[in-house]
């Protein structure tokens, strides 16, 4: 694991940040290509992607503030380097990006479901690349394991994220990276053969919710708690959100499929 690729003087080039940038650029390119194939204007997709990125950054930070007591107890920590370079909570960013995207799609006069379908495979691919950055940095680590693919992180990773270095851990970052790569390929195929607009984004929401729900059982980094629900249910914040997103998307999927059968 290599948290830092190189140093230019005293300035580090972090693997995590570089891979997140690559993930965004690749995902935006894929979304634009798929949207163009569906007859949508590519330039609008680029604009949409940039605004959704900003919304995702803000949303991921807000949910992190809500779930992690350290930030609520010490507001000045919001202005620390640790807060600025942390990735935040994915679901917070996802929900914020969807809300911003919905508003912008309406403003641009684009068809919502068709536009969302173009972004779905791209989101999964971006996650597959981004989780490699998590692995390099040592964040989002897993529980101790005796399995032969267990990993030990470096002291530098421990300094940056607090990941334990004296035990082999589940590479949960790689589990999710591989799962979302497979999901990307599935969604890409489904995009070519979809039966109705909205099928691809709703399929993404259902399947990613299932992936995240399962992977969370192996996570061992601080998971946060919202209103004591984690303590009450024994499920992490992301698992609770996965349940809501997955069930809601499944209901919408069924509803749209049934409503369009006779069309």
Q: Looking at residue 189, what DSSP letter applies?
A: H
Q: Is the Cα torsion angle 27, 30, 34, 35 positive or negative in sign? A: positive
CA distance linking residue 218 with residue 221, whole number of Å:
10
pLDDT band of 57, cuts 50, 70, 90 = confident
Check whether 58 has a pLDDT greater than 90.
no
- How much is the pLDDT for 251? 96
CA distance linking residue 115 with residue 25, whole number of Å:
18
pLDDT band of 78, cuts 50, 70, 90 = low
92: its two tokens: 């917070």
184 touches 231 (CB < 8 A): no
164 touches 134 (CB < 8 A): no
CA distance linking residue 193 with residue 181, whole number of Å:
19
122 touches 43 (CB < 8 A): no
Q: Name the residue among 180, 83, 191, 199 with its Cα closest to residue 135.
A: 180
Q: Name the residue among 57, 47, 146 with its Cα closest to residue 94.
A: 57
Q: Name the residue among 224, 212, 215 with its Cα closest to residue 62.
A: 224
What secondary structure does DSSP assign to 233-260, as a single string?
A: HS--HHHHHHHHHHHHHHHHHHHHHHHT
- How much is the pLDDT for 162? 85
Average pLDDT taken over every residue of the chain: 87
17 touches 171 (CB < 8 A): no
- How much is the pLDDT for 1? 62
pLDDT band of 82, cuts 50, 70, 90 = low
Residue identified by tokens 């536009």 is 115
197: its two tokens: 């607009």
Domains of the chain, residue spans = 4-193
The stretch 41-69 carries a mean pLDDT of: 84
User: What counts of helices (H) and strands (E) characterise the chain?
Assistant: 11, 2
The stretch 115-137 carries a mean pLDDT of: 94
């Amino acid at each position: 694991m290599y948290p830092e690729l190189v140093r230019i003087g005293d300035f580090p080039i972090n693997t995590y940040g570089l891979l997140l940038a690559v993930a965004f650029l690749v995902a935006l390119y894929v979304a634009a290509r798929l949207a163009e194939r569906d007859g949508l204007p590519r330039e609008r997709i680029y604009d949409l992607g940039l605004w959704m990125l900003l919304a995702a950054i803000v949303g991921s930070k807000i949910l992190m503030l809500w779930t992690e007591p350290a930030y609520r107890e010490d507001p000045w920590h919001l202005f620390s380097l640790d807060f600025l370079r942390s990735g935040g909570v994915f679901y917070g960013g996802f929900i914020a990006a969807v809300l911003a995207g919905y508003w912008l799609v309406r403003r641009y006069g684009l068809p919502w479901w068709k536009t969302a379908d173009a972004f779905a495979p791209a989101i999964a691919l971006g996650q597959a690349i981004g989780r490699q950055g998590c692995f390099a940095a040592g964040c989002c680590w897993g529980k101790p394991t005796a399995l032969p693919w267990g990993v030990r992180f470096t002291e530098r990773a421990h300094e940056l994220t607090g990941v334990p270095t004296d035990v082999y851990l589940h590479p949960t970052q790689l589990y999710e990276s591989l799962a979302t790569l497979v999901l990307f390929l599935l969604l890409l195929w489904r995009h070519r053969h979809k039966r109705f607009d909205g099928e691809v984004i709703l399929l993404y929401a259902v399947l990613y919710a299932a992936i995240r729900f399962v992977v969370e059982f192996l996570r061992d980094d601080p998971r946060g708690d919202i209103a004591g629900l984690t303590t009450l249910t024994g499920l992490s914040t992301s698992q609770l959100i996965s349940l809501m997103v997955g069930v809601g998307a499944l209901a919408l999927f069924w509803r749209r499929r049934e409503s369009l059968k006779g069309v």
